[in-house]
């Protein structure tokens, strides 16, 4: 499995038949190590603008299937996009592998010109392809439910550390202890002043996993 960090909570993921974007809110100037035309799946953890990002444009252009909760799929159906609805705790077999939607403690309202639309419950994703497991936590506070993920034997966990809207470094370290992934990668920090955080502080203290900082645009294979 190969991932490229696109900044904030956005990642490109390539594994087998899967060529996916997760929460595609990113700066288009980033040197993409993939062709946008090849993207066949877009994972959306929740309805906030800094996660929906370029979803509509990319899905329109590529015909990619969006995987999101039921309420976000209902909202996206207005734009004629392909959407596969899931919900918290559900696991599904796709042609490329397995996906489980995990809980997140957060909001999910979708800001539109006509006001805020219900975006259901926020979540995260456990994506399994050819025996490799990637966990993207979405936006979430620390939750004791994360302990259940230890049983999943996660290879790489992508965890928010920016605080204010999500876990900060201190709580993300506890999350790593709960999840016990092989590798923990911080995300959702330093995009805005209110989520300033030190990924180095996270890496320095992370003990039950190998911590890794991905700079924006950097790729990592596992």
- Residue 180 is inside which H or E element, if any? none
Choice between 77 and 112, CB closer to Mn ion? 112
Task: List % helix, strand, coil for the chain (3-state, nearest 5).
Answer: 25, 35, 40
Query: Contacting Ni ion (CB under 5 A), which of 71, 139, 168, 171?
Result: 139
How many degrees, rounded to 5, is the angle at CA 30 between CA 50 and CA 33? 110
Minimum Å gap between C-beta 164 and Mn ion is: 10
Residue 123 CA to residue 44 CA, distance in Å, equals 9
Shortest Å, Cβ 214 to Mn ion: 17
Contact with Ni ion (CB under 5 A) among 1, 19, 20, 48: 48
Q: By CB under 5 A, tell whether 139 contacts Mn ion.
A: yes
129 vs 175 by CB, closer to Mn ion: 175
List 106's β-bridge partners, or say none.
none
Q: Which of residues 48-87 bind Mn ion (CB under 5 A)?
A: 50
Which of Ni ion, Mn ion, none binds 23 (CB below 5-8 Å, type-dependent)?
none
Tokens of 198: 């030190």
Sheet of strand 91-94: strand arrangement = 91-94, 97-103, 123-129, 132-136, 156-160, 183-187, 210-211
Query: Shortest approach of Mn ion to residue 97 CB, angstroms?
Result: 26
Interstrand relation of 91-94 and 97-103 (parallel, antiparallel or unpaired): antiparallel
Stretch that binds Mn ion, among 34-42, 45-53, 64-72, 93-101 (CB under 5 A): 45-53
Q: Which stretch binds Ni ion (CB under 5 A): 87-95, 137-145, 150-158, 193-201?
A: 137-145
The one segment of 54-62, 122-130, 134-142, 171-179 that binds Mn ion by CB under 5 A = 134-142
Residue pair 190/196 in contact (Cβ under 8 Å)? The answer is yes
Alpha-helical runs (H) found in the chain: 49-52, 55-62, 70-76, 169-179, 199-205
User: Which of Mn ion, Ni ion, none is residue 168 near (CB under 5 to 8 Å by kind)?
Assistant: none
Q: Please report, as ranges, the residues that interact with Mn ion according to CB under 5 A.
A: 50, 139
Q: Please report, as ranges, the residues that interact with Ni ion according to CB under 5 A.
A: 48, 139
């Amino acid at each position: 499995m190969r991932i490229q960090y696109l900044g904030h909570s956005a990642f490109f993921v390539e594994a087998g038949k899967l060529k996916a974007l997760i929460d595609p809110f990113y700066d288009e100037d980033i040197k993409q190590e993939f062709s946008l035309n090849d993207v066949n799946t877009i994972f959306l953890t929740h309805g906030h603008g800094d996660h929906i990002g370029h979803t509509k444009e990319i899905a329109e252009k590529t015909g990619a299937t969006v995987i999101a909760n039921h309420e976000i799929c209902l909202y996206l159906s207005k734009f004629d996009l392909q959407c596969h609805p899931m919900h918290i705790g559900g696991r599904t077999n796709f042609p490329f592998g397995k996906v489980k939607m995990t809980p997140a403690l957060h909001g999910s309202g979708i800001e539109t010109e006509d006001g805020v639309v219900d975006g259901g419950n926020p979540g995260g994703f456990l994506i399994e392809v050819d025996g490799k497991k990637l966990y993207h936590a979405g936006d979430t506070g620390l939750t004791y439910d994360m302990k259940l993920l230890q049983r999943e034997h996660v290879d790489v966990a992508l965890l928010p550390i920016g605080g204010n809207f999500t876990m900060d470094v201190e709580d993300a370290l506890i999350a790593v202890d709960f999840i016990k992934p092989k590798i923990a990668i911080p995300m959702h920090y330093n995009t805005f002043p209110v989520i300033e955080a030190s990924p180095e502080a996270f890496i320095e203290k992370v003990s039950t996993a190998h911590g890794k900082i991905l700079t924006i645009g950097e790729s990592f294979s596992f």
